[in-house]
Amino acid sequence: MTGNHFIAKPSHHSLIHNRWMQLVFGIVCMAMIANLQYGWTLFVNPINAKYHWGKAAIQVSFTIFVLVETWLVPVEGYLVDRFGPRPVIAVGGVLAAIGWLMNAYADSLMGFYVAAVISGVGAGCVYGTAVGNALKWFPDKRGLAAGLTAAGFGAGAALTVIPIANMIHSSGYEYTFQFFGVAQGLIIFILALLLIRPTAPKGVQVSQRVASVKRDYSTSAMLKTSVFWVIYVLFVAVAAGGLMATAQIQPIAADYGIAKIPITTIFGSTLPLLTLVLSIDSLCNGFTRPVTGFISDLIGRENTMLVVFIGEGLALLGLMNYGHDPMMFLIFAPMVFLFWGEIFSIFPAICADTFGIKNAAGNAGALYTAKGTASLIVPIASVLSKGGNWNRVFLLSALIAIAAGLAAKFILAPMRARFIHEANQTHT
């Protein structure tokens, strides 16, 4: 151990047993499930063009996927805490592949809905396991480790958005579902075989800048505390605005009349504005997770929330006021994702800080259901934006994000400090 840094000692002196390599395995697995959420928007129009069910009905699949992916994570986290990561992620890879293969052959809305359930369970298995593992392997760098892991989910789609879009155009959405479904599922399954149960490092020094509890709470005990529900509400509030952007970015660009405007990149290639924005959005969404996680390790969770949540609100207001201009859309849409992606690193970290590391996967999974709760708000965007008027959506989301930032600093911070102080006194 050097300073605040713990160096894992592999039990078999192999690279696989190194905690950083285990973190890399988790990150790659997360990247392989990213398209299940972030690539979905590319399939909506082709599916609607074939079956004419209406975008709203097709988008129900997105909501179902997010609900299943998030609300079952506590169960999957419980299984990880008890049986280790390998079997849970292996099953997740198989289910993720099956879900997309079903999408390729579905010829009814119910077929897509069932596929969303299956792929949602698969994605939840991978997500909950990878994040829980990161928290356990790196109690000294929780924000950074959770951020790097979540970055795989945020940025994983960035590498494949353009290939998926091109394959849909050249080979049809059905073949695209088949190819990427099998490829992604196979990679997850192989990496699952290399995962090992995290070993609890002894004597790790956690930064004094981050308040943390010295006892471990079970998920049921955690759910009985008021501080958990304050954290949960803040997660829901900020997640809702980002999910609206994730699910609706294509119709927003279409309603603004700028989706197909050709943009020449710095590399000399020319892409439709929407395709380029989706790639940049994914990169920003992934980049912010380890960066803000690392910053929160240094300056504290709530201080980081204050800055980033308010930044999210300002980005949404910028998109509302200037988004009709293609260049401004190209700036403010990625900024929304830049400030939004932070929640997927800081919230798991603050959960482990507050309720302990032993049951970190199950506890973080329970908190992660806030994303599913937030997804229920996404359809409201379609109601508020009737006629192509997205201003009400942006204004509401911005006000909620700014209020959440202020609440994190002036309500959650003192409340959590009291909770940790009392818990540590009881523990000693």
- In tens, the pLDDT along 51-98 reads 999 888 998 998 899 888 888 888 888 888 888 899 999 999 999 999
Mean pLDDT of 368-386: 79
pLDDT of residue 361: 87
pTM of the model: 0.80
Q: Which position has the higher pLDDT, 283 or 319?
A: 319
* Cα–Cα distance for residue pair 145/79, rounded to 1 Å: 21
pLDDT band at 413 (very low <50, low <70, confident <90, very high): very high
Q: What is the pLDDT of residue 263?
A: 81
pLDDT above 90: residue 337: no
Which 8-state DSSP code applies to residue 5?
Answer: B
Q: For residue 335, which of 204, 207, 242, 263 has the smallest C-alpha distance?
A: 242
> Would you say residue 390 has pLDDT above 70?
yes
Tokens 């997640």 identify what position? 239
Cβ(123)–Cβ(96) under 8 Å? Answer: yes
Q: Which two tokens stand for residue 104?
A: 């390729």
pLDDT at 215 over 90: no
Residue 328: band (very low, low, confident or very high) from pLDDT cuts 50, 70, 90: very high
**pLDDT number for residue 189:** 97
Furthest-apart CA pair in the chain: how many Å? 65
The b/e string for 264-288 (b: 16+ C-beta within 10 A; e otherwise) is eeeeeeebbbbbbbbbbbbbbbbbb
Burial of 99 (0-12, 13-18, 19+ CB in 10 A): buried
Q: What is the pLDDT of residues 155-213, one digit of tens each?
A: 777 778 889 989 999 999 999 999 999 999 999 999 999 999 887 666 556 666 677 88
Do residues 319 and 332 lie in contact, with contact meaning Cβ atoms separated by under 8 Å? yes
Mark residue 197 as left, alpha or beta (left: phi above 0; alpha: psi -120 to 50; beta: remaining): beta
CATH topology of domain 15-427: Growth Hormone; Chain: A; (1.20.1250)
- Neighbouring C-alpha atoms within 13 Å toward the C-beta of 63: 19
| For residue 257, pLDDT beyond 80 | yes
| Letter string b/e over residues 325-335, b meaning 16 or more CB atoms within 10 A of that residue's CB | ebeebbbbbbb
Domain range summary for the chain, segments of one domain joined by +: 15-427
